Amino acid sequence: MKMDFMRQVGLAGLIYFSSVSSNLADPGPDLSQLPEYLSNLGGFLGYNITQPPLTMLSTLLGGGTSAENIQQTTLATLLGAVLNKTIVDPNSNSPEIALNQLTNMVFKTTPYDTPSTTNSGTGSVTVNTSINQLPYQTNPVSQSILDLLTTPDFSFCQLVTQCSYSATTSGNLASKCCNQPHTYSAQIGISALGTLPAPINIADPLDPSIIQQLNSNTLLGPLLLSTINPTTGTSSSPSKSSNSWSSMSSLTAVSQAQAAANFIRYASSAVAPPPQTELSTYQILYNLAMGLPTPQKNKPSATEIAIMQSAKAQQSLATYLATMRTIAAQTSVGVANLNELLTKRLPQNPSGAGAPTSQALNEYVMASRRLYDVTIPAPTGKNPSTQWVDQINAASSATVQKEIAILLSEINYQLYLSRQQQDRLILTNSIMLFQLSRLVTPQPLQPPNQ
């Protein structure tokens, strides 16, 4: 406001000086030409004063209210994407508490701890009842920690008759040893894979939705992940090949958001939990540690032997196949990074006419066009690199200010491109962290006599 006021005062002074000087000097142009002089003066300062003031300001500055709303939305979504569920006092007026209450808002409409199967088949990102452990958490990070620490070995759920960790044990043994009998370590891989394939079907094509869930671009490609199921009625599930052996997989995705969440489950090895200690071994070590009598090992019955052998075989197959999908998801990160470098240089013709171009070429032109404008021939006898400098030297102050605003907008675009590269670097480093963590996975406990 101060700058505008000074400009108005200066403009009024110039008008007064021009009118006084015209009266003192020889008779010249009369005041009828004053609008023309003012128009020329406004043009020299970079303004078209023939336009109404409000129209001129809105054209130059944009809508202030709209910019304010965008800024507030940007801050709110930044905080809402923080996966945290802190315990706060809703009655507190502290600014810090108010900001904490905005976290984890991405899971407000459909809470993460509410399975999607109870939400009319929507495409929201939630826990999966086939692979996640109870009690369900409010965000995927806490849920992954719970799953890693509480997923039991198959022996805790298959042979519940052996679950007697103390002499005072009573009640339902299955509920004490295995909260969810269908989510022990081996069954998680089977649930994620679907029906285990017969040898003759191992090379059958995978369901297209499974391939999408193993592609890292599913996570990084969309700028706004959709949670809407694009299909309705009987075709609400992903389309499946008639000879696909993964038709019973529990990790189906009916939206972009669910496909991205499943990619994280595959890439982080959530579908292939680390090996767990068997119940009998843990029982012996626990009794020894607590000074309790060591239970005598009874000879297992034929039925129990068959159950154990079947469970171990299923665990071996499920672990192998789930690990292969994990490797495929992790490999897709590097493949996607390299192909991004390729696609940035492939020719495109968005306008449908003219010479083809590419993203890499366009970015180069944006960065170098003021040093050497390849689209405008240089004046005869002049260095092409001085074109833009010559124009700036001959331009008015308002033109220079507008050029600065354009430069700042281009810098914002370059910063956005850098942020995209940072996302891929974060993804790549995270995959490396997953792979390194698997190298130090604790091995199952062994009984003392081994």
The residue ranges of every structural domain in the chain are 2-62, 65-106, 109-229+247-327
Q: What is the largest CA-CA distance in the chain?
A: 127
Kindly tell me if the per-residue pLDDT of 7 is higher than 50. Answer: yes
Mean pLDDT of the chain: 77
The predicted structure's pLDDT at residue 157: 73
Give the dihedral sign, CA 134/135/140/146.
Answer: negative
Which of 200-209, 382-391, 439-448 is least confident? 382-391
Residues in Cβ contact with 113 at an 8 Å cutoff, skipping those fewer than 6 apart: 126, 127, 135, 136, 137, 138, 143
First to last CA, the chain: 84
The predicted structure's pLDDT at residue 240: 42
The separation between CA 75 and the C-alpha centre of its own chain, rounded to angstroms, equals 17
Kindly tell me if the per-residue pLDDT of 435 is higher than 80. Answer: yes
Q: Where are the alpha helices (DSSP H) in 33-137?
A: 34-45, 53-61, 64-80, 95-100
The predicted structure's pLDDT at residue 18: 56
Kindly tell me if the per-residue pLDDT of 423 is higher than 70. Answer: yes
Q: In the numeric block, which tokens belong to residue 15? A: 């008008």
Kindly tell me if the per-residue pLDDT of 201 is higher than 50. Answer: yes
Which of 24-38, 190-204, 211-225, 238-252 is least confident? 238-252
Residues in Cβ contact with 330 at an 8 Å cutoff, skipping those fewer than 6 apart: 267, 431, 434, 435
Kindly tell me if the per-residue pLDDT of 260 is higher than 60. Answer: yes
Average pLDDT over residues 4-9: 56
* Per-residue model confidence as pLDDT tens digits over 51-105: 766 554 444 555 667 777 888 888 888 888 988 866 666 666 666 666 777 888 8
Q: In the numeric block, which tokens belong to residue 259? A: 């496909």
More confident residue, 88 or 406: 406
pLDDT band at 213 (very low <50, low <70, confident <90, very high): very high
Tell me the sheet residues that pair with 348. 357
* Per-residue model confidence as pLDDT tens digits over 293-350: 876 666 777 877 787 788 788 888 888 999 999 999 999 999 999 999 999 999 988 8
Residues in Cβ contact with 14 at an 8 Å cutoff, skipping those fewer than 6 apart: 41
Q: Is 363 exposed, middle or buried (0-12, 13-18, 19+ CB in 10 A)?
A: middle
**Residue 362 main-chain phi, psi, to 5 deg:** -65, -40
- The share of the chain scoring above pLDDT 90, in percent, equals 23
Tell me the sheet residues that pair with 68. none
Which of 3-7, 168-172, 324-328 is least confident? 168-172
* Per-residue model confidence as pLDDT tens digits over 267-290: 999 998 888 888 778 888 888 899
The predicted structure's pLDDT at residue 380: 52
Kindly tell me if the per-residue pLDDT of 396 is higher than 90. Answer: no
Q: In the numeric block, which tokens belong to residue 176? A: 């004490």
The predicted structure's pLDDT at residue 95: 60
Look at residues 271, 265, 325, 273 and name the one whose alpha carbon lies nearest to residue 148.
273
Pick from 166-180, 217-231, 379-393 the range whose average pLDDT is largest.
217-231
Angle at 352 between CA 342 and CA 410, to 5 degrees: 60
**Residue 357 main-chain phi, psi, to 5 deg:** -140, -175
CA distance 201 to 242: 12
CA distances (Å), origin 136, targets 132, 149, 157: 7, 13, 19
More confident residue, 373 or 150: 150
pLDDT band at 119 (very low <50, low <70, confident <90, very high): very low
Kindly tell me if the per-residue pLDDT of 394 is higher than 70. Answer: yes
CA distances (Å), origin 2, targets 8, 113, 420: 10, 55, 40
CA distance 35 to 18: 12
Is-above-0.95 flag for pTM?
Answer: no
Kindly tell me if the per-residue pLDDT of 378 is higher than 60. Answer: no
CB-CB contact of 213 with 263 (8 Å): yes
